[in-house]
Structure 1
């Protein structure tokens, strides 16, 4: 008897067997890494942040284009450092030279300007585009040339010193909106257009045709080379696609995790800052749906996702892996900085390198101290500790308490008095397991029997409960037939139950007839010689 009571006690509280269970979300080490870039919004700028670009040299300041302005922000304080207002129209696509001394940017006026970062004065103006320029890029190492593309569907390769055009690359049929320089060769670059194509250009090849072309399938909003130089990533529509350039432009994977247009992508790194072999590269993408997603293109899976309260237009990641910036459509930049070795040293106030300092001696706790008896309450377990978890106190409902006391009929009436059919079915299943359900039914008085029949009339035809309740309804009618005949209220319940069952039978017959008709039509269509060439469906 004691063993039986122990086994029954473990089943409380009784739960509906059809209720789904939810899985607890776990935070991975990589998610913690990306969450360490705690974004802090800057002061609202004039208009949308059309582009973000980091300087390749220390301290890796970054430039943001908005309205007719290029603003340079400090990588240390994340505050505006300089403002360049040398544009007559909306500025676009800022790009630092490899030494970080010059910055080039396009504009809706069609002019590409090269500016000095320190003096903020324009040094060169490259005129040649007849429509707004949305792409300006310096090669990775070359300091003398840059390439640009605009809404005139033309890509131009420039000699910056002489302000002359070296090549005019024609091939796109719609707006040229993005591009990137090859990390392997300064003579190669890629451009993306609203004609759905991405073209690979080599300025050493004679003529103005591209050396390779891939079709993204949607207007291309951004395109980048991946660090190896053999792969490229394209963004357009709600997808980011990976292409193998060395393999002839083969599509490797399409990531379609965003709900709206992907507006910008960049490459980020995780792992230790020292040692190239320890670094792992990720693609960071932002979209008009307000999400920033991190994509591991080695394993083809999303490793992190973060939501922002506005549509996102641009993203940048610093070369030292310490700063991530995201630009929005409402003029806010979410700049997040991660603590590195340099930050830790600066926060120690200059004590690093001055020799070890004596640690203050800890006060020894003795039994005469009150805190002695409360020691260890806030200690966290170490790796080798065996944890004994305190059992959580479960709050039992009324029918669970009655079942625990083996008051079966009262438990059934308590569940029937409630408004939750799942609890009633759970109690009935428990009583079936204890072989007490029919005994409880036979002991119900007239009012309690009315509760049971009313419940059966409402829920017997529900598919999830029908397997149990239809059989129980038949048993109740057989067992309590005399009581039902003597009460008009109970007779009314039985009539309603009969009406519900008959209606369910008619519905099932109608569905069966429809299914038989569909199956017959399919069989006729599959027979040879029954389909004619003139049919239209």
Structure 2
């Protein structure tokens, strides 16, 4: 039996970069956004959720998170995203700050503009304790990760204090900052006796409760500190100052890296993916996700209002990322949620069903699931396993020359009507450029391109010239379009003056080629200038880093990656073969 005639395979262009990375796919999973307006449209200044307990068997994890806005702290369920309780027992003209839930979910602590710190029972909303030692607004309250009764606070009175829940007064006072203290945290793990604080005096200080008279370590910055965040290892601290985030090494006592991806002040920092991703929010309305090895941006979100607070809320005993909660200046709370457990289970079950369908074991899968087949499915499966009674089974192929789903231009190409095939593709009601590329590639392989283009009149030549003018500068098509243009100039250069339309199209082609050649030359010049600039910048940054380390500053230089990206984009058009083809075409035009 003769072999079937295969249909013409469409031309496949070079694959570009991957459309979406694994991190982008992960963070795009935070969907089904819920917008919750705050009462009286007060800005949302703080979002927090309790960490996982040290022993989940003794203390079950709390499935709640707290949102601080205006004179109230709202407690939401991390399972349903519904509002559970609202605590409003603050002064009439007081503003609440930094509502934090203890890891067992039973007690909430918050500061206020009056300088008071209050502890509330989350069940009854009763006030358990009130401290009034701070003389200025209290902006930060935190629970000790290893102690259920230890609390820290930071205030505009330039002090950091440690409290014990049963005591009536502070246990320790750290004095050393010269301006408002607006951020602070306990160090994680076994270093919970260490406290880090950030102040508007442009310093990040590390305190030891065993030696409270002076800071253990001080890092000077170039702007006021808005937020500090210890890393899970306990050896690094992140601090945001202005539109930059500095990575501070506590072991070496110096900055490691400076992140400069925001355009305005970075207001909030948090960790995700078990501490392997950093999430930051700023007044530019952007939320950016960084990987913590090289500190590159891997994902991002844009919000309509400046971001004041954010948190990646975990759920369950494993504290798997469930919600991305973002608080804005406009008073809106945005909560994006990943798939719940039931939805994930349904997706996994659907994937197993598809795998069984591909493997041909769908009946076995249905029997295991006790799935009842529909009547149409039964008819489709009837007789599928019938093998016949000793009779031969003959399978007839398609008749030679009769190809199914073959387009008209493909039939003309197979029959040697090359000019007609070109006219059919260009004259189609809905022009599809890959068909034209496939046809021209097939004509070039058959050495029939001259046959397809020769002997044309003014009317049939114009569509071809317009197509060449449109795509002559495209990097992916340059080799093919330049061959077509050279052939057209060879065939019709002498008759160009006889037709004003053809002459005008050739002039357009000349201008387009000249413009593309200038772009290629400019790209090479840009590459040389960029490489020289990068070399000079790297030498200057080394000198700057040495000087800053001597002064204990953290403004460490960063390689201008945007310039590298711009040069990389230009290189897509400046390959040697493309420039050579354009130069040949321009030279051919000069000979006309």
The 2-side partners of 1:357 and 1:12 are apart by 45
The 2-side partners of 1:317 and 1:428 are apart by 51
Shift of 1:212: 0.7
Contact (CA 8 Å) 1:408, 1:431: kept in 2 or not?
no
Match of 1:284 in 2: 279
Q: 1:418 to 1:124 in 2, by over 3 A?
A: same
Secondary structure at the counterpart of residue 496 of structure 2:
coil
Shift of 1:307: 2.6
Match of 2:273 in 1: 269
The 1-side partners of 2:256 and 2:203 are apart by 16
Q: Which residue, 68, 80, 89 being the options, matches 2:83?
A: 80
The 2-side partners of 1:450 and 1:357 are apart by 74
Choose between structure 1 and 2: higher helix proportion. 2
Shift of 1:339: 4.3
Contact (CA 8 Å) 2:71, 2:95: kept in 1 or not?
yes
Q: Which residue, 365, 373, 376 being the options, matches 1:362?
A: 373
Deviations 1:68-102 (A, max 9, x none): 00111112211111111112211111122343322
Q: 1:445 to 1:59 in 2, by over 3 A?
A: same
Match of 2:154 in 1: 149
Contact (CA 8 Å) 2:116, 2:132: kept in 1 or not?
yes
Q: 1:450 to 1:236 in 2, by over 3 A?
A: same
The 2-side partners of 1:462 and 1:346 are apart by 56
The 2-side partners of 1:51 and 1:234 are apart by 17
Contact (CA 8 Å) 2:164, 2:170: kept in 1 or not?
yes
Q: Which residue, 167, 173, 187 being the options, matches 1:168?
A: 173
Q: Which residue, 243, 246, 255 being the options, matches 2:259?
A: 255
Shift of 1:104: 1.1
The 1-side partners of 2:251 and 2:140 are apart by 24
The correspondence of residues 327-406 of structure 1 with structure 2, limited to 5 A, is: 327-339=327-339, 341=341, 359-362=370-373, 396-397=425-426, 405-406=452-453
Where does the alignment leave 5 or more consecutive residues of structure 2 unmatched? 1-7, 52-59, 348-366, 385-404, 411-423, 428-432, 441-448, 519-581
Deviations 1:121-170 (A, max 9, x none): 22222212232221111211223332211223222223442331333322
The 2-side partners of 1:226 and 1:92 are apart by 23
Is 1:54 aligned with 2:10? no
Is 1:240 aligned with 2:245? yes
The 2-side partners of 1:424 and 1:157 are apart by 71
Is 1:464 aligned with 2:517? yes
The 2-side partners of 1:432 and 1:339 are apart by 54
Q: Which residue, 9, 27, 43 being the options, matches 1:34?
A: 27
The 1-side partners of 2:236 and 2:481 are apart by 62
Deviations 1:177-216 (A, max 9, x none): 1111111233211111122211111111052x11011234
Shift of 1:409: 5.7
Contact (CA 8 Å) 1:323, 1:335: kept in 2 or not?
no
Is 1:96 aligned with 2:101? yes
The 1-side partners of 2:123 and 2:504 are apart by 85
Is 1:414 aligned with 2:462? yes
Is 1:475 aligned with 2:591? yes
The 1-side partners of 2:136 and 2:337 are apart by 37
Is 1:188 aligned with 2:194? yes
The 2-side partners of 1:186 and 1:70 are apart by 26
Is 1:200 aligned with 2:316? no
Question: How many residue pairs end up in the alignment?
Answer: 427
Shift of 1:105: 0.8
Shift of 1:54: 0.8
The 1-side partners of 2:512 and 2:344 are apart by 66
Secondary structure at the counterpart of residue 179 of structure 1:
strand
Match of 1:429 in 2: 482
Where does the alignment leave 5 or more consecutive residues of structure 1 unmatched? 1-8, 16-20, 271-279, 348-355, 374-389, 477-537
Contact (CA 8 Å) 1:416, 1:424: kept in 2 or not?
no
Secondary structure at the counterpart of residue 218 of structure 1:
coil
Q: 1:467 to 1:332 in 2, by over 3 A?
A: same
Secondary structure at the counterpart of residue 30 of structure 1:
helix
Secondary structure at the counterpart of residue 442 of structure 1:
coil
Contact (CA 8 Å) 1:98, 1:141: kept in 2 or not?
no
Match of 1:67 in 2: 70
The 2-side partners of 1:102 and 1:282 are apart by 29
Q: 1:213 to 1:372 in 2, by over 3 A?
A: farther
Contact (CA 8 Å) 1:30, 1:303: kept in 2 or not?
yes
Moved more, 394-403 or 309-318: 394-403
Q: 1:157 to 1:431 in 2, by over 3 A?
A: closer
Q: Which residue, 126, 130, 135 being the options, matches 1:130?
A: 135
Shift of 1:431: 4.5
TM-score, length-scaled by structure 1:
0.68
Shift of 1:297: 0.8
Contact (CA 8 Å) 2:496, 2:503: kept in 1 or not?
no
TM-score, length-scaled by structure 2:
0.62
The 1-side partners of 2:490 and 2:339 are apart by 69
Higher relative contact order (CA 8 A, sep 6+): 2
Contact (CA 8 Å) 1:416, 1:451: kept in 2 or not?
no
Deviations 1:204-254 (A, max 9, x none): 1052x1101123433221111111212211123222222221222x22222
The 1-side partners of 2:252 and 2:465 are apart by 71
